[in-house]
């Protein structure tokens, strides 16, 4: 007789895998399952809730619980702080602030911030190095209206990424991954050839309705983002 919710969870998982519960099919109600397995309904609920969160079941009040046909596999990536990512590889982190200026960004950047056409933003261009070798080239736009304190920070010492993480916590954001050929300037900075295929990450971060920062990361060749399904 199953006791813990993890055992119950595993048993339900088995039934799905073994096709005892068919895709698109309703499964018994919580109370029935609880009676069958000899545990409380709360335990069944915990197990089913977990399976639903992991994408194997769909639950609706009154309608009941059904098995999902094509369970979508989800991959979770950790969005690391660059310094920690480098240090976790056992390398020494350093960074160079290549440019820092307040200016009006190009229209495609302004559009992301949903700001009027003449809004100045803080532009930062930073090269992050691992063991003194170029690791990732960062271009960042910061909405100073949202984080005015950043203007006074010495970004030679602490990079903007880290300062923002520590001072503007728990915001939302979106992420876009792709590939881009290195232009001449990037190639020079990253010590690679012009035209080399580089892994690119673009991230917009906001808090509430306000957009805080837009950052584009161009990684050195051969960089790969890894995860487990």
Partner DNA sequence: CAGTGGTCTAGACCACCAG
Partner DNA sequence: TGGTGGTCTAGACCACTGC
Note the residues at the interface with DNA (CB under 7 A).
3-6, 8, 27, 29-31, 38-43, 45-46, 48-49, 52, 59-65
Distance CA 175, CA 109 (A): 15
CB of 65 to DNA, least distance (A): 4
CB of 71 to DNA, least distance (A): 17
**Contact with its own copies (CB under 8 A): which of 76, 99, 107, 118?**
76
3-class SS of residue 183 = coil
Task: Say what angle helices 30-37 and 41-53 make with each other, to 10 degrees.
Answer: 120
Distance CA 94, CA 181 (A): 25
CB of 222 to its own copies, least distance (A): 7
Q: How many CA atoms lie within 13 A of 229 on its CB side?
A: 5
Q: Which is nearer to its own copies, 77 or 96 (CB)?
A: 77
Distance CA 173, CA 74 (A): 18
CB of 34 to DNA, least distance (A): 7
Q: How many CA atoms lie within 13 A of 126 on its CB side?
A: 25
Tokens 């232009």 sit at which residue? 183
Does residue 22 belong to the site contacting its own copies (CB under 8 A)? no
> How many whole angstroms from its chain centre is CA 71?
21
Question: Which range of residues in 89-97, 133-141, 175-183, 209-217 is near its own copies by CB under 8 A?
Answer: 175-183
Q: Which is nearer to its own copies, 29 or 197 (CB)?
A: 197
Q: Is the dihedral of CA 185, 191, 195, 199 positive or negative?
A: negative
Beta-bridge partners for 133: 130
The binder of 4, among its own copies, DNA, none, by C-beta within 5 to 8 A per type, is: DNA
Does residue 200 belong to the site contacting its own copies (CB under 8 A)? yes
CB of 36 to DNA, least distance (A): 12
Does residue 96 belong to the site contacting its own copies (CB under 8 A)? no
Token code pair at residue 170: 């728990």
Q: Which is nearer to its own copies, 122 or 220 (CB)?
A: 220
Q: Which is nearer to DNA, 32 or 101 (CB)?
A: 32
Q: Which is nearer to its own copies, 74 or 99 (CB)?
A: 74
């Amino acid at each position: 007789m199953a006791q813990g919710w993890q055992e119950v969870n595993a048993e339900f998982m088995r039934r799905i895998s073994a096709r005892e519960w068919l895709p698109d099919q309703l499964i018994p109600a919580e109370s029935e399952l609880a009676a069958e397995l000899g545990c409380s309904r709360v335990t069944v609920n915990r197990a089913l809730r977990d399976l639903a969160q992991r994408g194997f079941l769909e639950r609706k009040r009154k309608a009941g619980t059904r098995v999902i046909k094509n369970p979508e596999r989800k991959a979770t990536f950790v969005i690391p702080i660059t310094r920690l990512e480098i240090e976790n590889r056992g390398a020494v982190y350093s960074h160079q602030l290549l440019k820092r200026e307040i200016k009006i960004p190009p229209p495609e950047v302004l559009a992301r911030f949903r700001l009027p056409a003449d809004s100045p933003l803080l532009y930062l261009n930073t090269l992050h190095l691992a063991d003194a070798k170029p690791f990732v080239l960062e271009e960042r736009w910061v909405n100073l209206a949202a984080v005015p304190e950043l203007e006074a920070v010495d970004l030679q010492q602490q990079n903007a990424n880290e300062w923002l993480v520590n001072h503007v916590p728990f915001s939302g954001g979106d992420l876009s991954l792709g590939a881009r050929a290195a232009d001449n300037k990037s190639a020079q900075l990253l010590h690679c050839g012009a035209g080399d295929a580089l892994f690119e990450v673009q991230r917009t971060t906001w808090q509430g309705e306000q957009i805080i920062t837009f950052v584009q990361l161009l990684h050195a060749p051969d960089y790969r983002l890894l995860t487990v399904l």
